[in-house]
Structures are given as structure tokens and as C-alpha cells.
Amino acid sequence: MNALTRLVSALQGAGYGGRLLHNEPMAPHTSFGVGGPADLFIRAERIDELIGWLRLVHAYAVPCIVLGSGTNILVADAGIRGLVILNACQSYTIDEDGRVVAESGVSLRELARHTVAQGLEGLEWAVGIPGTVGGAVVGNAGAYGGYMADVVQETLLLDRDDQRRRVRRAELGFGYRTSALKRVVAGEQRPIVLEVMMQLRPGNAQDLAARAEQITLQRQTRTPRGACAGSMFKRTQHYPAGFLIEQAGLKGLRVGGAQISPQHANFFMNCGNASAQDIVQLIEIAQEHVWRDFQERLEPEIELVGAWPEAAVPEAIHRGG
């Protein structure tokens, strides 16, 4: 009996067999809409479930990925080996002092809209950002001058040794679109975010609502519609990535079913039948041309996860489990 089979038996014995899916396609669970099947897939709706299952996979030495809303990853065409846990832990509280405690699976934009309605300032920039609170902390999500690093006070993590620990903001190593957590390869030794504590400020609800509406309209005007992962590359030291890609003459370029958006060159779109490999080829083309023409290195914001052949992964892309 191999490790995966033992894990299945353990989950079934604990009463979770009816929720465990085999060979679940990953495309419906990612914003790119691509990716092969996961060996095993299960949805966690409570933190205790998430912790318990992570301890099981560690005990049986089965590879595991914890997935949020799938907005910042590209899953291999061959899928993901081991177990994928969909983090649907979505409880949060807000106290009278603006202290927000949110489980990591909470929708960031829904939380932002709720805090705006309550007249709390600090997350209004996030009203249009897809993704979960946990993922936003890992990538230090930000827009329109605001970042998670501005509001996060503390996180509750589950370490690889299955110990829970609270980590203050100073220890999270926040940087532009990154953190100390993101610098650890996903699916290997990266701690799992369980809960996030944020501190917001009292504000004028009407003013915040107007700001949120302005941000929403700007996003609708500038952001391409369709299957993508948001901004593909980080801004370089000197220029926005989309500007460099457009100046390199790549706007609208297609590879198979993937395209660099004709509307915004830093958005790479699945036009309906793209493979993950199509998207990776577009990433490589953009990096090569921008380096050749401008000597600027484009660093992707996304992570590659799953069973990628070594030869298929560009060196500059952060690869997960």
C-alpha cells in the first residue's frame, strides 16, 4: 500500500470519504481555467479540518497544496500529484476598534466591501481584487497605493512540523508583491496561513464608499475581462511591465489558445482553449524580448504548481509543489 492509498484510507476512516474527490480537474478551480487533475481533492470549511488534514499528509509523506481562489497560480497540464485542499474557511470578526480577525479562506474583496460599509478605512483598495485573505498576505497584495502590509498586524501559521505559531508583521518580511512566506517554495516548507489579524482605522462611510466606487470603475476600465491571473509580471525598478511588453511589440501576441491581452499587455489571457504550456511559452517570449530590447528582467507574480517537466519551466518563474 503506497502513501496515497494510506492517506485515502485514513480520510475514509475519519468519515471524510464522501467529500474526497479523485482525479479532480483543476481548471475550474483557477482563474486561468487551465490545469490537469489533482490525484486527490477535498474542501476544508473549518480551520480544524484544514489543520487535521495537513497533519495527516505530513504523517503519510504525501505532497499537498492548499489552494485559495486560484487567482495567482498556473497549474501544470499534467495536474498535481498528491492532495489539494481547497481552503474555504471563511469566518471573520470585526470589533468596535476596527480589529479584524479573518480566517485565511475569506474572500478579500468581500471583506473589503464589508469594512467599507462599516466605515472602516484600510482595505478600500481591495474591493475589486479576487483572491483570499491568506493568499493576499503571502503575496502582499496591493493596489491604488494600499497593501496588505499596511494593515496586517499578526498571522496565525501552521508550520511544517504541525505547530501553530503567531507571527507579527515585522517577521513577515513584506516587500513589493512578496513576503517571507512567498520566498519559500509552495508545497515544500512554506507555512500555511490559518488566520490573519488586521487593524483598520475609523473613517467616513460615505467617503470610503465613493473611493471604493471610483476604484471599481477604474478597474473595470483598465482590466481585461476573461480568464487570466491578473497582472502577470511585477513592475521593474524603472517601468511598469505592461509598458515594456507593449514597447517590445508583443501586445496581442498569441501562442495556441493563450494571448497577451490587446487591452493591457501585462494580462495574459486564456482565450478558451489554452494549455498551461501555451501560457508559459508566452511568459518566456515576453521575458526574452524585454531583456533583449531594454535589458529589463520581468519577474512573474504567479507561481507554477503541479507536475511540470523541468525543461518546461523558465528559470525566472517561481515554482511550487
| Residues labelled catalytic | 177, 231, 301
> Are 230 and 301 spatial neighbours (Cβ–Cβ below 8 Å)?
yes
How far is Cα 49 from Cα 167, in angstroms, rounded to an integer? 22
Residue 182's contacts (CB-CB under 8 Å, 6 or more residues apart) are 138, 139, 140, 318
Residue 80's contacts (CB-CB under 8 Å, 6 or more residues apart) are 26, 35, 36, 37, 38, 39, 63, 65, 305, 306, 307, 321
How far is Cα 243 from Cα 313, in angstroms, rounded to an integer? 24
What SS3 state is found at 122?
Answer: coil
> Are 262 and 246 spatial neighbours (Cβ–Cβ below 8 Å)?
no
How far is Cα 306 from Cα 83, in angstroms, rounded to an integer? 11
Greatest alpha-carbon pair distance for the chain in Å reads 61
> Are 298 and 287 spatial neighbours (Cβ–Cβ below 8 Å)?
yes
DSSP-assigned beta bridge partners for residue 227: 270
> Are 162 and 241 spatial neighbours (Cβ–Cβ below 8 Å)?
no
Query: Which run of H or of E encompasses 15?
Result: none
> Are 144 and 127 spatial neighbours (Cβ–Cβ below 8 Å)?
no
